[in-house]
């Protein structure tokens, strides 16, 4: 069974803390994504990676960075957490290929910044 | 610019009734369109996709969607709602500038009354 695993389901962090959200996929996918999900706004892309050490900014990269040192792992970093980063974070992965390939999602990490 | 609009943040139906979730898109090129479902406390799962083949697309769990170019719509339907269909549903369109990235609508929460 294909799997995208996010390391935490729930996190509570303090304002100003450095926060790491980890995502691992076991499908040998080249593409990995971090989305943020907020009520009424749907999913918004934060960062995208298409290969090890390669990344692209998404629609809302401000306040975030990412790391992809290994193909299977994609980390989202909040350098200095703020209350407006309280949200649900979803990781996804997909295979590269001609046309379109399905993205598989993790279960999400609900982050609360206090 | 591409966009996806889902009409109605909440839709409530009785068990056994028709489900209709609305999605309109804008795209400068023939679109690839998708419906995803998110059950409580889970990630997103692909329900169905339109990739320029048949305009009526059948998905999992008895859902289907019809692509109507003249109306720029891709509404999701199911003839008879089941309690287990209660979830949030997202419509998405593939970006023109990247075959791996999607633009999501704001989501519609489906409530099924017994």
Higher pLDDT, B104 or B28: B104
> What's the mean pLDDT in B7-28?
94
| Cβ burial, residue A83 (10 Å; 0-12/13-18/19+) | exposed
Asked whether residue B84 carries a pLDDT value surpassing 70, the answer given is yes
Confidence of residue B2 (pLDDT cuts 50, 70, 90): confident
In angstroms, the CA B56 to CA B64 distance is 7
- Which of 36-95 (A) contact B at CB < 8 A? 40-45, 48, 50, 58, 90, 92, 94
Q: Which of A28-37, B63-72, B98-107 has the lowest mean pLDDT?
A: B98-107
What is the rounded (10 degree) CA torsion for A23, A24, A29, A32? 10
**Residues of B with CB below 8 A from A97's CB?**
none
What's the mean pLDDT in B56-81?
95
Alpha carbons A4 and B45: distance in angstroms, whole number: 12
Mean pLDDT of A4-25: 96
B20-B38-A89 Cα angle (round to 5): 135
CB atoms A100 and B94 under 8 Å: yes
- What pLDDT is recorded for position B21? 98
Task: Note whether B21 contacts A: Cβ–Cβ < 8 A.
Answer: no
For residues A5-32, give the mean pLDDT.
95
Does the structure show a pLDDT above 70 at A96? Answer: yes
pLDDT value at position A14? 97
| A101 token code pair | 């390939």
CB atoms within 10 A of CB B48: 19
Which pLDDT belongs to residue B7? 92
Q: CA of A48: how far to CAs of A62, B11, B30, B67, B87, in Å? A: 14, 32, 24, 28, 27
> Is A108 close to B49, i.e. CB distance below 8 A?
no
Q: Which residues in chain A (87-106) have CB-CB distances under 8 A to chain B? A: 90, 92, 94, 96, 99-103, 105-106
Average pLDDT rounded to a whole number, residues B2-12:
93
Has residue B37 got a pLDDT over 90?
Answer: yes
Contact B93, B31 (CB under 8 A): yes
Chain A residues whose beta carbon lies within 8 Å of the beta carbon of residue B104: 42-44
- What pLDDT, on the 0 to 100 scale, is given for residue B52? 77
Q: A83, A78, A68: which is closest to A113 by C-alpha?
A: A83
CA A111 and chain centroid, separation: 12
What is the CA angle B95-B99-B100, rounded to 5? 95
Residue in chain A nearest B91 by alpha carbon:
A42
**Band (A70; pLDDT cuts 50, 70, 90):** very high
Structure-block tokens of residue B86? 């209660």
Closest CA to B40 of B80, B82, B89: B89
Contacts of A102 in chain B (CB under 8 A): 46, 49
* B97 Cβ contact list (under 8 Å, min separation 6): none
pLDDT bracket for residue A105 (50, 70, 90): very high
């Amino acid at each position: 069974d294909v799997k995208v695993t996010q390391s935490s389901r729930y996190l509570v962090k303090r304002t100003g803390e450095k926060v790491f959200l980890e995502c691992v996929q076991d499908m040998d996918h080249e593409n990995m994504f971090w989305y943020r999900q907020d009520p009424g706004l749907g999913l918004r892309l934060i960062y995208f990676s298409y290969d090890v050490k390669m990344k692209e900014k998404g629609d809302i990269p401000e306040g975030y960075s990412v790391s992809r040192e290994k193909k299977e792992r994609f980390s989202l970093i909040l350098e200095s957490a703020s209350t407006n980063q309280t949200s649900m974070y979803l990781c996804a992965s997909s295979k590269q290929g001609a046309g379109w390939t399905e993205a598989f999602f993790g279960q999400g990490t609900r982050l609360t910044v206090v | 610019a591409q966009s996806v609009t889902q009409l109605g943040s909440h839709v409530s139906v009785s068990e056994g009734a028709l489900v209709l979730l609305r999605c309109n898109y804008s795209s400068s090129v023939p679109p690839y369109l998708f419906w995803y479902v998110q059950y409580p406390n889970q990630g997103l799962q692909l329900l169905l996709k339109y990739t320029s083949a048949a305009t009526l697309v059948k998905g999992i769990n008895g859902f289907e969607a019809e692509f109507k170019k003249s109306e720029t719509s891709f509404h999701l339907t199911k003839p008879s709602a089941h309690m287990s269909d209660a979830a949030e549903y997202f419509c998405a369109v593939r970006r023109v500038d990247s075959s791996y990235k999607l633009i999501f609508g704001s989501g519609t929460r489906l409530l099924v009354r017994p």
